[in-house]
């Protein structure tokens, strides 16, 4: 089973829900796909057992063979290649690694070389599996790193994917293939606006979803009304509590200070399983 945790708006409590849900289940496998700003490790404190680098293939031009015919530039959709006089210039930061240039080069002058864009770290703590990716500083493209994180999905476990905020490609890459997506929101105008965007995303990719309202007593009742009108299940509400906020600030999962929440997370899991079945 794959459950992804997403939100639209940042800072609504995705990592909090992902981590505390994982700790409430015995055999969870947590995959932090927020590779730009991964945070789950701060709470899970896993023992890292293996690391692997993530590369994307970028072109390298063999100057001996290249006759600057320009075919590579013509087939590149990302302007990652340019012809200047009789040489080809490569802009690796624009390259998506599609491989078209080397395939079409009539001279066989283009070889693909690996460019490192991030790193994957895998480990565990007690029964819980853990993996996250970290995008290297200055790199723009998160999805290739996210795809490698997701290779660590384990079929015999409850896989919990912590997604990045937003509604664009990194989110789509993270939630793709999930059996269910939990949207974490807060009942403020910003939270609701971004929840509505996230709902559009989930309807487009056709993944079943429900909502967790965090800091549920700060704001107004418009989020509740919206969910009722749109027939979106509200799976759980977590009221604002300074002790929860403080636990979060110190990197402590709050089910450890408030064990009664473990049952509530198990109820959440039960509702998710019911929906999938």
Partner 1 sequence: MKQLVVISGKGGTGKTVFTASLAALSAGLNPGDNKVVMADCDVDAADLHLLLSPDVKEKHDFKSGVTAFIDKDKCIQCGLCERLCRFDAISKDFTVDTVSCEGCSFCANACPEQAIEMKENLSGQWFISETRFGIMVHAKLGIAEENSGKLVTLVREQSKRIAEKNNSDWIIIDGSPGIGCPVIASLSGVDCAVIVTEPTLSGLHDAQRVVAVARHFNVSVIMVVNKYDLNVDVTEQIERYCQEENIAFAGKIEFNKIVVEAMVNRKTIVEYCNEDITASIKNIWDKICHYILSK
The contact set with partner 1 (CB under 8 A) reads: 7-12, 15, 34, 36-37, 39, 42, 75, 77-78, 96-100, 103-104, 135, 137-142, 164-170, 172, 176, 188-190, 193-194, 197, 200-201, 204-205, 218-220, 242, 245-246, 248-251
Q: Which of 212, 223, 224 is nearest to 188 (CA)?
A: 223
- Name residue, tokens 């505390």: 20
Q: How far is the CB of 64 from partner 1 (least distance, A)?
A: 25
Q: In terms of CB distance, is 10 or 270 closer to partner 1?
A: 10
Closest distance to partner 1 from the beta carbon of 137 (Å) = 5
- We find the least distance from the C-beta atom of residue 77 to partner 1, in angstroms, to be 5
Give the whole-angstrom CA distance, residue 231 versus residue 225: 10
DSSP 229: H
Residue placing its CB nearer to partner 1 in the complex, 69 or 75: 75
To partner 1, the closest distance from the beta carbon of 53 in angstroms equals: 18
By beta-carbon proximity to partner 1, the closer residue of 56 and 227 is 56
Nearer to partner 1, 88 or 244 (CB): 244
Q: Smaller CB distance to partner 1: residue 139 or 159?
A: 139
Query: Can you tell me the distance from the alpha carbon of 75 to that of 146, in angstroms, rounded to the nearest whole number?
Result: 26
Query: Least CB distance from residue 85 to partner 1, whole Å?
Result: 25
117 contacts 141 by C-beta, under 8 angstroms: yes
């Amino acid at each position: 089973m794959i459950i992804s945790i997403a939100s639209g708006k940042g800072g609504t409590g995705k990592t909090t829900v992902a981590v505390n849900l994982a700790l409430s289940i015995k055999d969870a496998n947590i995959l932090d796909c927020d590779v730009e700003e991964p945070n789950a490790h701060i709470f899970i404190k896993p023992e890292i057992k293996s690391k692997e680098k993530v590369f994307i293939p970028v072109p390298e031009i063999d100057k001996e063979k290249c006759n600057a015919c320009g075919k590579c530039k013509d087939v590149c959709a990302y302007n990652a290649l340019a012809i200047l006089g009789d040489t080809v210039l490569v802009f690796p930061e624009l390259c998506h690694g599609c491989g078209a240039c080397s395939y079409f080069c009539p001279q066989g002058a283009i070889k693909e070389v690996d460019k490192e864009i991030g790193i994957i770290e895998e480990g565990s703590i007690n029964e819980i599996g853990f993996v996250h990716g970290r995008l290297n500083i200055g790199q723009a493209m998160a999805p290739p790193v996210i795809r490698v994180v997701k290779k660590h999905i384990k079929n015999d476990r409850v896989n919990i994917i912590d997604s990045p905020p937003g509604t664009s490609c990194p989110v789509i890459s993270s939630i793709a293939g999930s059996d269910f997506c939990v949207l974490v929101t807060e009942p403020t105008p910003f939270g609701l606006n971004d929840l509505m965007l996230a709902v559009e995303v989930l309807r487009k990719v056709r993944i079943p979803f429900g909502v967790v309202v965090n800091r549920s007593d700060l704001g107004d009742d418009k989020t509740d009304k919206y969910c009722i009108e749109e027939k979106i299940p509200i799976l759980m509400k977590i009221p604002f509590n300074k002790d929860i906020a403080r636990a979060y600030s110190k990197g402590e999962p709050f089910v450890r200070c408030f064990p009664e929440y473990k049952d509530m997370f198990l109820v959440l899991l039960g509702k998710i399983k019911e929906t999938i079945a």
